[in-house]
Amino acid sequence: MDKILLKQVELFIAFLKKLNNEDLQDLQSGSLKIDFTKRYSKDKKASFDSFTFGQYVAEIEGMQTREDCIAYLERIQLQRKDLEGILRYLGVSFTKKDKKDKLQGKIIENTIGRKLRDDAIINK
């Protein structure tokens, strides 16, 4: 049990280390809040850091436009494996041949794009 808790604390610290200075200042001032959610991965075989990917998805889902999401993804400069992890977290398929831009597009369309389409249908 202690090893599990220690691992989660290590993951949280790794996540905090990835924040930029602006985010750290906002966190310290209280204008930025980090939420924890309990989620099971859709693929039980997946061995990835669902905590960190969940935080990225939560941040993206809080955005209002695709452009905001594109700017966010450019700012945090995720590697290909991170983008693949986010897509696994979302349960979206991708191929190894997909380029980084295509992976980012899939993330955007399966978060912001889906939200915008749903809003458009509801507000018709």
| One domain, residues 56 and 101 | yes
Residue 120: CA count within 13 A, CB half-sphere:
7
Predicted pLDDT at 45: 45
What's residue 94's pLDDT?
93
In the chain, DSSP assigns E strands to none
| Residue 112 shares a structural domain with residue 62 | yes
Give the C-alpha separation, 13 to 105, whole Å.
Answer: 28
Contact status, residue 111 vs residue 57, Cβ threshold 8 Å: yes
- Structural domain for 22, as ranges: 1-34
Same domain, 29 and 48: no
Same structural domain for residues 58 and 9? Answer: no
**Mean model confidence pLDDT for the chain:** 83
48 with 103, same domain: the answer is yes
Both tokens assigned to 37: 């959610």
* Residues 86 and 61 occupy one common structural domain: yes
Band (104; pLDDT cuts 50, 70, 90): very high
Coil vs helix vs strand at 96: coil
Q: What is the pLDDT of residue 44?
A: 47
Answer yes or no: are the C-beta atoms of 57 and 90 closer than 8 Å: yes
Q: What is the pLDDT of residues 25-61, one digit of tens each?
A: 988 998 888 876 666 555 544 445 667 888 888 889 8
Residue 38, Cβ density class (10 Å: 0-12 exposed, 13-18 middle, ≥19 buried): exposed
